[in-house]
Chain A
Amino acid sequence: MTGSLSPRVAGLLAVAGAGAVAALASGRPELAVLAAPLLLFAGVGLALAQRPRVSASIELDRDRLLEGERARATVTLANHGASRAEVELLLAGSALLALEPPGPVLVGVAPGATTTLELTALARRWGAHSVGPALVRVRDPLGIRAWSGQLGGRLALRAFPREQRLRELVAPLATQPFLGSHVARVRGEGIEFADVRPFAPGDRARQVNWRATARRGALYVTERHPEHASDVVLLLDTFAEARGGAGGTLDAAVRAAAALARAHLARRDRVALVDFGGTLHWLEPAFGTAQLYRIVDALLASEIAFSYAWRAVESIPRRVLPPTGLILAITPLLDERSLRLLADLRRRGADVTVIEVSPFAHTPPGRTESDAVAHRLWRLQREAIRARLQSLGIGVAVWEEDAMLGPALEGVNRFRRSARRSLRV
């Protein structure tokens, strides 16, 4: 720890020195008598001050939580010195963690004793946060000297994004031959009724539709749609974001991506993640809970990385983009590069849907009339972008951050049903 003198020492010495000099100059001994206690106090304080021997350890009651939840941090201070230590402690933490109490805490620790402090850390946003170390300042009993430094380590605290429950998801155009929850377009073994047709050699007896057979006088069998899984690629646009005081479009995009990943994995889909922006990260498609944790962990590291680089589809590994997979692009539609990528993917025959995270909550129109006109023009420009994407067969779900994601996805499904013919891969 670094030792320092309290600024009061200089003040005490200045006042005492002035009194002593004035006493000598004026021949008034009372001034020297007044100066003596101040001088003696500073001298005794400096003589008695001893380097403190204090240690601290920090523990968290959990290392992962949902954003908006609190974790309890326990700081244990131990005084190994021979005199009482007055410890001023400030727990360091990530900027997106709200520590309670927000300022320093002052505690006294008796010699040879330990003191425990309970503090709380509120995760204001998802992310990989850190708690600690403890910044401490220990003062001697007379407050003349202080020692400051860092004690304890830095603990990781992962805050997972809040998730919405999604009842309806974007229905994929094509499915994979794995057991899943989507009704496939092909016919085979399943539950959903597809059609009846005349019996053919090889059909099983339990497939016979006895009502149709009785009505038509010949053997008819029921055909069904099987339930298959699909491949879903979550494409997170991290080229640019709109950010206001309360948050940004990336915050909402990560929440949406986490909710979509959970919902699709629950329906036994294979889910991949592509973080497409200034830097490129990806996770290959996989099933199950482990993949959900992998995706959420990858999402926590998402950030806007400023870059002038133009990235094309070729920069994404082929194995991450299954040819018949559903690509869900979560984007604020703010960067031309992401628009080009989406159009390029669609032209290559990919099944693309855009979930547009609306930036309007973070971009108020401004106060002057010209600002309002510019804002209206910008809105019109965005509508033109949406129309351009829809003309390519890309469904666009406009999602306001405060609203539920489900209704926006329903709107996309309506668009996809109406435009199915043009969407066929």
Chain B
Amino acid sequence: MATDAHAASALAWAATALAVLLVAVGALARSAAPVHVAVALLGALLLLRHDLRLLLAPAYGGGLLVIEELATRSIELAGVRMLGRGVMGARAAAAGATAALGACAGALAALAVTGAPERSLALTAVGAAAIVVAFGAIGRLGRRTRAEPPAPAGPPSVHPQRAAALPVEELPNERVV
């Protein structure tokens, strides 16, 4: 039993080190993909615990979301040469709100799971349908295009007609939809 605990601890440390390495690789490569692999790896680490797993899961999920938020925002800021006033404060507030939102969402999910009946094929089917519905709703949100009026133009510059001549430069880390 003691050997199993020792092995689990060693595995947890190794996985944590690998997650840190992945976050560092993501920051260097300015890519969010390694960060998400690291988040998945850290999430899987919760399964190594044998006690209080469900109780810890909401806070753990919130923590994972904060890690993801900080890592991806750091990647975004890596190319920025000058930061305006108030940007860091707004980011810190967003990270705090993210943590609170994650913990609340996790707690709600834990409550729902605690009150659920025993596992059955029907319940699994309901769960699968819920996943499909949730992803479908998010997909619709991602595809939507709001018909909003265009932004009002600023004061005219000297050669506004020439602005169109400059090719649009795609900024990194973005995917046009």
Chain A contact residues, CB within 8 Å of chain B: 1-9, 11-15, 17-21, 23-24, 27-44, 46-47, 50-59, 63, 76, 78, 80-81, 84, 86, 88, 90, 92, 101-108, 115, 117, 130, 132-133, 135, 137, 139, 141-143, 146, 148-156
Contacts and interface: CB of A to CB of B under 8 A. Distances in A.
Contact of B156 (A30, A80, A135, A153): A153
A101 B124 contact: no
21 contacts: A5-B142, A8-B72, A14-B36, A24-B124, A30-B54, A33-B57, A34-B43, A37-B62, A38-B39, A38-B102, A43-B134, A53-B150, A54-B151, A55-B154, A57-B154, A103-B80, A107-B84, A108-B87, A117-B84, A143-B94, A148-B170
Contacts of A33: 54, 57-58, 61, 106, 109-110, 113
A135 B163 CA distance: 11
B19 interface: no
A34 B56 CA distance: 10
B151 A2 contact: no
Contacts of A6: 32, 72, 173-174
A46 to B, nearest CB: 4
Contacts of B94: 141-143
Contacts of A7: 31-33, 173-175
Interface string B129-146: 001001101100110011
B159 to A, nearest CB: 5
A311 B169 CA distance: 40
Interface in B37-68: 39-40, 43, 46-47, 53-54, 57-58, 60-62, 64-65, 68
Nearest to A63: B158
Contacts of B101: 37, 40-41, 44
A20 to B, nearest CB: 5
B105 A40 contact: yes
B76 A143 contact: yes
Contacts of A39: 105, 134, 138
B151 A52 contact: yes
Given A106-B80, A152-B154, A153-B158, A13 B90 contact: no
B128 interface: yes
Contacts of B106: 33-34, 36-37
Given A4-B174, A4-B176, A15-B36, A153 B162 contact: yes
A231 B127 CA distance: 93
Contacts of A92: 166, 169
A99 B42 CA distance: 42
B141 A53 contact: no
B142 A9 contact: yes
B157 interface: yes
Contacts of A31: 43, 46-47
B117 interface: no
Given A36-B105, A41-B101, A106-B83, A57 B90 contact: no
A11 B69 CA distance: 12
Contacts of A155: 157-159
A137 B61 contact: no
A37 B103 contact: yes
A46 B135 CA distance: 12
B177 interface: yes
Contacts of B85: 107-108
B171 interface: yes
A105 B82 contact: yes
A107 to B, nearest CB: 3
A86 B135 CA distance: 28
B77 interface: yes
B168 interface: yes
Contacts of A81: 151
Nearest to B109: A36
Nearest to A22: B44
A137 B63 CA distance: 28
A302 to B, nearest CB: 21
A18 B40 contact: yes
Nearest to B33: A11
A55 B151 contact: yes
Contact of B90 (A44, A86, A156): A86
A42 B138 contact: yes
B81 A78 contact: no
Contact of A153 (B86, B146, B159): B159
B71 to A, nearest CB: 9
Contact of A34 (B31, B61, B79, B156): B61
A15 B19 CA distance: 14
B84 A152 contact: no
Contact of A151 (B77, B81, B154, B159): B154
Given A130-B162, A153-B160, 14 more contacts: A6-B174, A11-B68, A17-B131, A20-B131, A33-B61, A34-B61, A37-B103, A38-B39, A38-B61, A84-B90, A92-B166, A105-B81, A135-B168, A142-B94
